[in-house]
Structure 1
Amino acid sequence: MKPGTTNRITTLFRITYPIIQAGMVWTSGWRLASAVSNAGGLGLIGAGSMYPDVLKTHIQKCKAATAQPFGVNLPLLYPDLEAHIRIIIEEKIPVVFTSAGNPKTWTGILKEAGITVVHVVSSSKFALKAQDAGCDAVVAEGFEAGGHNGREETTSMVLIPLVAEAVQVPVIAAGGIATGPQMLAAFALGAEGVQVGSRFAASEEASCHTAFKNRIINTGEGDTELSLKQLTPVRLLKNDFYRQAKALELKGADPATLLELLGRGRAKKGMFEGDLENGELEIGQVAAAIRSVQPAAEIVRDLWTGFQNGLAKLHN
């Protein structure tokens, strides 16, 4: 793709660049979503950490901050899901990304309201189920990704081409993508867009705590690990909470014991309140390649410029 050209993802979302900002809990509020959309990508509000009234406020503020399309990321395991769905439909949100649940349950209802629906998957089997449910595209999220992750532990390099071969709908790659060359690699594997999380978590507009952003840009190789596999697998930065969970897992702790340790508000404590030792710090492996906190518009620009420069090098 060259500047000004289109593909199925840019056409589907009516955006300039096939770059989607992931809807991350405690990180992706209206400021980040509107900044990414204003820069030509697709910004997503992360509804997973929001009560319904908070989600409505973020949607309305995002509308005031951008005239460009934006969407909402909706984890299907959220307890007050019906209220979120109602607000999304009432506010005429054009795009919804769903995750962590069965897409059959809500895709039809969302599409009846004229909403474009995308589902996040960790295997080609689930990609086919999302396509059968009527999703307009799928996100193939590899094992490298931060936050909640697939139990299959399939890396992006393996997953993206498997999903692209299995489905006819457009594939968006996620997991391990923070630079233009990484975006180019995803396209070479069959993706038509990328969903970027960790790189945007370290942006000026991200709603997470400054201490968490600074921890991201000081992350090294091997500083994250997929944890809490008996509950819902989640990739975490290694801190005191991670070490406590790891010790319990090595002792063969049952899910109830792990849930007791996790408690309530652990992710908020870490990512939003900045407790770097006792909080749950969700981030991807690619944090090791992130070295600065930048405005979201610069991140979009750098991704696209790096993608184009890498493509030109391959043609030389």
Structure 2
Amino acid sequence: MKKLTLLPVAFAVTLTMAACSSTPTTTTQLDQARADFSAAQSNPTVAANAPLEFKAASDALDKANTAAAKKESLNEIDKLAYIAKQKIATAQEAAKAKQAESDVANAARQRDEVRLQARTAEANNAKAAADRARSQADQAKADAEAARAQADIAANSARDEQAKNAALQQQLADLQAKQTDRGIIITLNDVLFNVDRAELSAEGMRTAQKLADVLLQEPQSVVLVEGFTDSTGTSSHNLDLSQRRAESVRNALIGLGVPSNKIATRGYGEAYPVASNTDAGSRQLNRRVEIVLSQNGAPIANRR
């Protein structure tokens, strides 16, 4: 795969700002985003294994740099810098996941080679036994063939199950799923929705597709979609928005083939914040949708 050269794109705005006579606005958040991008860019596996995600990270950083060059509000710069940091992290995680997928494939090939060697040795032993006991050769050959067929069936079944489990774990890793005492929780960030709207963005629909793929492989699981907002606006508006966002995710999953009776929704508004709500970055963390997957069909415990 051809390596993408993103340095001129990601730092073009920075170089432009440096040429200006006035000093552009910057923030700690933006400096951190620039440092994170530089670290990701210095790792050749990121651009090689996650070119689309890396390009998205570069574009997001360009927006933050442009806002700084225009001396927009610190909150706006921080918001854009936070989005850039998230996209940079996503690119790094996607590259790690691609590398892990390659490692799994290599391990599978090695297992196949070991099995082939074992089957070859078994065939040689069967031939030697037939030579030593010609009167029993036909029966021994039939027994060996039957045993080999059963071994192939068992090996194929085990390999298919391993591949299915590995694929499922990889999908959960792509969604950054976390194991909790309530079940597996997947968080959809605010950037997957349009501002102050409940409709999923294009990126949000792609995430919903990944989530649907997981649910369709887990027929025993039930799902609770929980919506949350920050503390901006009235409580009634926030409660309604959180419920509508949860319903939007539910409807997307149903449209992708997940049975409707497996999915429940609940909006909490500004309750259960995960950050302080004192700045744009914290408020963005609180604007989220969490998907809780039960295990083995067990009921999902209420929030405490």
TM-score normalised to structure 2 length: 0.22
Structure with higher helix content: 2
Higher CA-based Rg: 2
Bigger RCO (CA 8 Å, 6+ sep): 1
TM-score normalised to structure 1 length: 0.21
